[in-house]
Amino acid sequence: MPTPAAPAAPATPSASPPGLIQIRNLAKSYRRGDQHIPVLLDIDLDVAQGEFIALMGPSGSGKSTLLNLIAGIDKPSAGTVEIGGIDIATLGDGELSDWRAHNVGFIFQFYNLIPVLSAFENVELPLLLTGLSARQRRERVAQVLALVSLSDRADHFPNELSGGQQQRVAIARALVTDPTLIVADEPTGDLDRSTGAEVLTLLEQLVDELGKTIVMVTHDPKAAARARRMVHLEKGVLVDELPPTSSDMAKATPPPTPPPTPPSSPTTAPEA
């Protein structure tokens, strides 16, 4: 550390109000044989509910590692990641996958659709981990496919869809359980400029119209500019954060009690 650190009491490390995501003194390292590889060093970050934040940085700077820690697919070496007041390192493996199934939607660079399943079936997949009936699942899938303007492609297989359409199917899949948080790792990285722009517009809509919180990894400054706030990673350290504008702050102000899963969520509905 360059300067003597402040006492352990949690300071206010960023300009954003406390909210959905609270990361404190987060460190992650990997072990390879007897080699110890530090990847994230001492990360503090707050993300309010309803924010759209871009995580930028060169290849290898730790962006995906940080995103995976936020999404609960990896565990910290030190420090804490709290989402909606839950320190996710305290959850057991079963609890964690259940928590993820209800609270986090994932969007990947190469869509990660299952080739032998139709668009409809790909979107339905996360709902199979919930207690919804077949009819409730059908209704919910139809709803989110309409939201991404792909109702007329429900029976198509991934190889019958363009890259942009496949990514919209993947966005529908991320949304289907009505998670509070959506994490996206280079969601436009495999798309041409104009198709990528359409996907970004859709992500903006999820924030503005559905109140989703999005953490998006990208190394494309044009994509990052569509987010409401950018943070930069350099060699595992967060550098120069650009605060959101005051109007974005107003939009991002969390409701009085931000529940990890909204009450309207279909995933909390009992079996019909």
Q: Which residues are at the interface with ligand ADP (CB under 6 A)?
A: 30, 32, 37, 39, 57, 59-65
- Least distance in angstroms from the C-beta of 197 to Mg ion: 21
Select 39 or 252, whichever has its Cβ closest to ligand ADP.
39
Residue 16 touching Mg ion (CB under 5 A)? no
Residue 77, helix vs strand vs coil: coil
Q: Give the C-alpha separation, 91 to 258, whole Å.
A: 20
Residue 61 touching Mg ion (CB under 5 A)? no
Residue 218 touching Mg ion (CB under 5 A)? no
User: What DSSP letter does each residue of 161-191 carry, written as one string?
Assistant: S-HHHHHHHHHHHHHTT--SEEEEESTTTTS
Residue 32 touches which of ligand ADP, Mg ion, none (Cβ within 5-8 Å per kind)? ligand ADP
Q: How many residues does the chain have?
A: 272
Residue owning tokens 């503005």: 208
Find the residue with minimal CB distance to Mg ion. Answer: 64
Measured between alpha carbons, how far is residue 176 from residues 20, 147, 155, 272 in Å? Answer: 20, 10, 17, 18
Binds Mg ion by CB under 5 A, chosen from 14, 16, 64, 177: 64
Supply 132's token pair: 């919804």
Residue 57 touches which of ligand ADP, Mg ion, none (Cβ within 5-8 Å per kind)? ligand ADP
Select 76 or 84, whichever has its Cβ closest to ligand ADP.
76
Measured between alpha carbons, how far is residue 143 from residues 135, 136, 272 in Å? Answer: 12, 11, 18
- Least distance in angstroms from the C-beta of 25 to Mg ion: 22
Residue 81 touches which of ligand ADP, Mg ion, none (Cβ within 5-8 Å per kind)? none
Site residues (vs Mg ion, CB under 5 A): 64
